[in-house]
Amino acid sequence: MSLAAAAAAISSATNIAITTHINPDGDGVGAALALNRTLRAMGKQVRLLFPSTVASHLDFLPGFKRIAVLDSEAKARRVKPAELLISVDCGDLARLGAVAALRRNKLLNIDHHSSNDRFGDCNLVDPAAACTTIMVHKLLKRCGAAIDTATADCLYTGLVFDTGRFMHSNTSATVFRFAATLMGYGIDAAAINRKLTYTMSPALLKAQKLAIERLTVDTTKPSIAGMAFSQRDIAKLGEIDDWGELIEIPRSLRGVEVAYFLREHGDCVRCSLRSNPPYAVGTVASALGGGGHAQAAGCTVPGTLASVKRELLARLRQIV
């Protein structure tokens, strides 16, 4: 990890593009928007180029409307090249989707996943960090950038998201000190928490109802619970741009230590996994071609809903 090298890469570039992983979450979006705001203030030409759309409940963050979606390599090749492409909160090049095809002189990789394969020309990777926005804050300070309240709002959003509202095992004294630092910039932490929690669409509430109806506790290992949605289920629910909250339904059941949520998508199944310490679902996700953290991970697995569920449950039973 080299803050000096990352700061030098930013200092030497004028035309900068910022991106994050496919299906961006609060940490990736918060880190990208914090960089966007501060680098613009430093006189840089900045573009936000994401590989897929962003959940609308994050639209309160400053700079959200500047996000452009490059969901095909053809689009990525047509846009203006970047002197520097900054990737935040992404563990490997493939997770950048079509944005990986963007022409650039240098790639700066800022991330905190232990599975990060150092795919950048410059890599600022710290698996000990609770979230990517902590690392972005350190980098901005190293660059001498001014951090205002709006920037701190973005940084705090990443912190809240990747600590599971301070309930994940990565919540530490360092995390709370960082939260205190951000409050020192004037953020309204309570207001941000409300915006992240109480902004569900009618379609998502309908999905929660179905999730409760589909909730299944494993008969072999009752500490495992989850639900699975078919493509037909998803078509009936309507447009939903954030499925992340549904995994908390099985996780909230008393006695459950490991939770899963499966969504059929074409000839694949998208799997979201959560667990309580000491159980590590990250190893299961990695074995199935995905990744993430020890207690929060995901993967996309080829196969039918039934076959993927069988394989996933077999692996989850092994870890409990």
| pLDDT tens for each residue of 175-224 | 999 999 999 999 999 999 999 988 878 888 899 999 999 999 999 999 99
User: What pLDDT does 312 receive?
Assistant: 97
Check which CATH number belongs to the domain holding 206 and give it. 3.10.310.30
Q: What is the CATH number of the domain that holds 130?
A: 3.90.1640.10
Query: Could you tell me if 150 and 18 lie in one domain?
Result: yes
81 in the same domain as 58 = yes
Residues 6+ apart with CB under 8 A from 131: 27, 31, 112, 158, 159, 161, 162, 163, 170
| Residue 262 scores a pLDDT above 80 | yes
Domain final residue pick, 163, 178, 197: 197
**Whether 210 and 175 share a structural domain:** no
- Please tell me whether residues 126 and 221 are part of one structural domain: no
pLDDT at 1 over 70: no
Q: How many domains does one find in the chain?
A: 2
Average pLDDT over residues 296-310: 94
The secondary structure of the chain as a DSSP string is: --HHHHHHHHHT-SEEEEEE-SS--HHHHHHHHHHHHHHHHTT-EEEEEESS---GGGTTSTTGGGEEE--SHHHHHHSPPEEEEEEES-SSGGGGGGGGGS-EEEEEEEE--TT----SSEEEE-TTSS-HHHHHHHHHHHTT----HHHHHHHHHHHHHHTTTTTSTT--HHHHHHHHHHHHTT--HHHHHHHHHS---HHHHHHHHHHHHH-EE-SS-TTEEEEEE-HHHHHHH---S--GGGGHHHHTSTT--EEEEEEEETTEEEEEEEE-TT--THHHHHHTT-EE-SSEEEEEEES-HHHHHHHHHHHHHHH-
Looking at the predicted structure, is the pLDDT value of residue 168 above 90? no
End position of a domain, from candidates 147, 175, 197: 197
Return the ∠ at Cα 111 (arms to 16 and 27), rounded to 5°. Answer: 85
Q: Domain of 88?
A: 3-197
Whether 232 and 115 map to the same domain: the answer is: no
Query: What backbone torsions phi and psi does residue 268 show, to the nearest 5 degrees?
Result: -130, 170
> In the predicted model, what is the mean pLDDT of residues 14-22?
97
Q: Are residues 259 and 296 in the same domain?
A: yes
Q: Is the pTM of this model over 0.85?
A: yes
Q: CB under 8 Å to 278, separation ≥6 — which residues? A: none
Q: At what angle do helices 132-142 and 149-162 cross, to 10 degrees?
A: 150
pLDDT band at 245 (very low <50, low <70, confident <90, very high): confident
Is the pLDDT at 238 greater than 80? The verdict is no
Same-domain pairing of 148 and 216: no
Give tens-digit pLDDT for 81-100: 999 999 999 999 999 999 99
Mean pLDDT of 222-244: 88
Is 133 found in the same domain as 31?
Answer: yes
Question: Last residue of some domain: 197, 232, 256?
Answer: 197
Measure the CA–CA gap between 112 and 110, rounded to whole angstroms.
7
Are 280 and 315 contained in the same domain?
Answer: yes
